[in-house]
Amino acid sequence: MAHGPAMRRPPSLWRKLDATARWAFPGALLVFGLVVLGMPFGMPGQAELRPVFAMACVYFWSLYRPASLPALLTAAAGLLLDLLGLTPLGLWAALLLLLQWVTIALRRRLVPAKFLFTWGLFTAFAALVSFLAWAGQSLLYASLLPLWPTALETLFAAGLYPGLAALLIRAHRGPAAVELT
Amino acid sequence: MIRLSVPFRQALSRLTFPVMLVVSLGFILIGRADQGFSDRLRAELDDVLAPAYMLVSGPIQAAEHGTGAIGHLFTLSAENTELRAENARLLQWQEVAMALEAQNNALKASMNYVPPATPTYSTGEVVADLGGVYARSVLVLVPPANGNPQSLVGAVAMDGRGVAGRVVEAGGRSARVLLITDLNSRVPVALGADGAPALMTGTNGPNPALLYWAPGQPPAEGAMVLTNSQGGAFPPGLPVGVVHYDAQNDPVVLPLANLDALRLLRLFSYPDNLPVLTPIPHTKPAATHSRKR
């Protein structure tokens, strides 16, 4: 670390910008992805895809870089998801926070685990969280909502996590990597 | 950056989770207590995002219209014969319609019929299909409303063929239309020629269900479904769909409107037909004013 006066100089503006951009990447990607997935592509199942994307991002970043996804940002993303997805305001915010909390609590065991295990656990979490979303919405609407979107979300979670994780790992190592200075 | 002591920072980071969780639960409570709160937030967000949706939906629609231009060449002659046959059939229907219109006018004249007030309408392009997991709605770009965007709330949205839904929120340049297939949609309808009343309720599926028809008078398969003015939310006689019995032998409505691919919607504002109990956002400010005075 202490190799000379060059390292001890206060970081330049560009350096600070770079560090900030790297720090902000996970949150920005989450919000940007939610907005893009809200766009009218006319894909079937697009509505179910949005919460799955949010869950995958929160799970991945909480696992590998919790500092970049503070609780405030998770709550904000959840509120955005509620506003875009017509769910009761605050429901997904609470659910994403719960997911993040559980993930961070299990972090020490999960980070060294095999990918297959983290994938399976994410699928289980996604099933649980989407079931909770169904239960919460049924409760708030005071009517029994159909359960098939929960199953679809679980399927999406199982199918899409490896691909998304591959992209996020690449980002985690490349453009969003934290500089070790 | 504010410098904080390490134990204080740790305590703070431990506190953020419960605090944010409580805040989210508080949002749920606020949303329960005041439905308008989340609606207003949504309308504002929709207004901000509408231009972005427009940018994306434009090319997609262009691609939908443009692709297949070469494919059409091969089916051109088959399509032409089909269209000629259909044209002949439609001309026959036109004659029937003209005869019926003449008869209708004669009957109206003999009954001293007073026509209902003509609604004002605006046409809007559908820019986003904003269905949630348990919701069916579309976002429509509307011309900047003269003065009060809230006057659009409650307007009946129709595509070329039938009722598609009602406007539930309106902002400066966009309005959200709750489709008749949404779980929260309830439309009073009249069935068949004698106008038997029933309620059409959205199920989140493609075809809304029919409830509360008169016992002993089940809706007939193929009967026309029109809106009913009961409750005052809809004007009478707008075409909605056709009765059909599904696999479980429950009556459902096959909507006339092409709800999967809505492109343009006309929003009809019927100013005076909202029921007494409907919360009318655009009259709220006036009410509070009068109370203050």
Does residue A1 belong to any structural domain of this protein?
A: no
Tokens of residue B30, six digits = 């606020």
**Contact between B134 and A149 using a beta-carbon 8 Å cutoff:** yes
Is A140 part of a structural domain of the chain? yes
Tell me if A71 and B28 make a contact (CB, 8 A cut-off).
no
The pLDDT, as a whole number, for residue B184 is 84
Q: Which residue of B has its CA nearest to A38?
A: B130
Instruction: Tell me if A3 is assigned to some domain.
Output: no
3-state secondary structure of A55: helix
pLDDT digits (tens, 9 = 90+) for A115-125: 899 999 999 99
Residue B285's pLDDT band, with cuts at 50, 70 and 90, is very low
Which helix (DSSP H) or strand (DSSP E) does residue A161 occupy? helix A148-173
Q: Considering only A6-10, B113-117, B266-270, which range has the smallest mean pLDDT?
A: A6-10
**For A65, what's the count of Cα atoms within 13 Å in the CB-facing half-sphere?**
19
3-state SS, B83-134, equals HHHHHHHHHHHHHHHHHHHHHHHHHHHHCCCCCCCCCEEEEEEEEEECCCCC
Q: C-alpha distances in angstroms, B235 versus A104, A109, B12, B279?
A: 55, 63, 57, 18
Q: Taking 90 as the threshold, does the pLDDT of residue A56 lie above it?
A: yes
Q: Which amino acid is at A46?
A: Q
> Which of B25, B60, B134 comes nearest A40 by C-beta?
B60
In tens, the pLDDT along B53-103 reads 888 777 777 776 655 555 567 778 888 999 999 999 999 999 999 999 999
Q: What is the mean pLDDT of residues B4-31?
A: 83
Smallest CA–CA distance, residue B28 to chain A, in Å, is 5
- Residue that wins the pLDDT comparison between B283 and B46: B46
Mutate to test the interface with B, among A92, A97, A129 (most CBs of B within 10 A): A97
- Whether residue A89 and residue B127 make contact (CB cut-off 8 A), yes or no, is no
Q: Classify B216 in phi/psi space as left (phi over 0), alpha (psi -120 to 50) or beta.
A: left
Domain residue limits at A106: 12-173
Is the pLDDT at A5 greater than 60? The verdict is no
The rounded Cα A121 to chain-centroid distance in angstroms is: 15
Q: What pLDDT score was predicted for residue A181?
A: 45
Give the tokens for residue A115. Answer: 């990918």
Q: What is the structure's pLDDT at B2?
A: 62
Tell me, yes or no, if A68 comes closer than 8 A to chain B by beta carbon: no
Determine contact: A71 vs chain B, CB below 8 A: yes
Q: Which one, of B130, B128, B251, B134, lies nearest residue B189 by Cα?
A: B251
Structural domain total, chain A: 1
Q: What percent of chain B has pLDDT over 70?
A: 85
The token duo for B164 is 């598609």
Q: Pick the residue from chain B with its C-alpha nearest to A149.
A: B133
Q: Is A66 within 8 Å of chain B by CB? A: no
Write out chain B residues lying below 8 Å of A88, CB-based.
28, 31-32, 38
Give A18→chain B minimum CA distance, Å.
17
| Chain A closest-CA separation from residue B271 CA (Å) | 27
- Looking at residue B225, its pLDDT comes to 92
Q: Is residue A96 part of a domain?
A: yes
Interface ipTM:
0.78
Indicate whether A7 belongs to any domain: no
Domain coordinates of chain B in residue numbers? 13-65, 74-110, 186-256
Provide the number of CB pairs (under 8 Å) joining chain A to chain B: 120
Query: Taking 80 as the threshold, does the pLDDT of residue B190 lie above it?
Result: yes
Answer whether residue A70 is part of any domain.
yes
Q: What is the pLDDT of residue B129?
A: 75
Domain boundaries B186-256, corresponding CATH code: 2.40.10.350
Q: Give A-chain residues touching B132 at CB under 8 angstroms.
A: 47, 84-87
